[in-house]
Amino acid sequence: MRLCIAIASLLLSVLFLSISPASAETAPSSLEQAMSDTLDLWRDGRYEQLYERLSHRGKTSREQFVSRMREASIRPACCWQKMENFKVLNEKRTEATVYVKVGLEGTPGTADSCTRDFKLSHEGGTWKMQLNDIFSLAGISGKKARHGSRKHTPGNTSTYHR
């Protein structure tokens, strides 16, 4: 009986030692996890869900967002290349600024990552990236493309052709 108690005690000690503070430090923060989850939605092409996970959507409707994202060839890289060197620069109750290198695939030219600050907002119990940051990473301009001709104004003799 004493042997069973000693073995059980030893096994519990090993179990508790394996759950060390070091493993807690390597777990992603809620900010890092939220950003990672958002980039995963984008990578997987789940644009309707991605739209709901974004903040500061302005006048961009879900339909406009989905359409523009489907046209983009750029998307986040997979796995460890998706986010590197994640650092929280500033965190308040409802907003945070993080600095991270986001790996990208499908980029024209040689730029296969973007390293910069990102602002996140805490809304509805979750951290959300901003819509304009996703458009920027995807190489999508925030403004709609113009179609047709410019309105003629005095002094303006140029015409916009598409």
Residue 27: predicted pLDDT = 75
* Residue linked to tokens 């073995």: 7
- Identify whether 23 is part of a domain: no
- Identify whether 16 is part of a domain: no
Residues of the chain below pLDDT 70:
1-26, 109-111, 142-162
- Identify whether 156 is part of a domain: no
- The CA-atom distances, in angstroms, between 70 and each of 11, 65, 84, 134 are 52, 9, 25, 13
- Identify whether 127 is part of a domain: yes
Residue 108: predicted pLDDT = 75
Find the DSSP H helices in the chain: 2-18, 21-26, 30-43, 47-52, 62-71, 131-138
Residue 75: what are its φ and ψ, rounded to 5°? -150, 165
CB-based contacts of 85, cutoff 8 Å, min separation 6: 99, 100, 101, 115
- Identify whether 80 is part of a domain: yes
- Identify whether 128 is part of a domain: yes
> Does the global pTM surpass 0.95?
no
Enumerate long-range contacts of 24-30, CB under 8 Å, 24 or more apart: 28/86, 29/86, 29/88, 30/127
- Identify whether 11 is part of a domain: no
CATH number at residue 42: 3.10.450.100
Which 8-state DSSP code applies to residue 77?
P
Count the domains in the chain.
1
Q: Domain limits at 105?
A: 29-138
Contact by Cβ (8 Å): 159, 150: yes
pLDDT tens, 10-39? 444 544 444 444 444 467 899 999 999 999
Residue 26: predicted pLDDT = 60
- Identify whether 7 is part of a domain: no
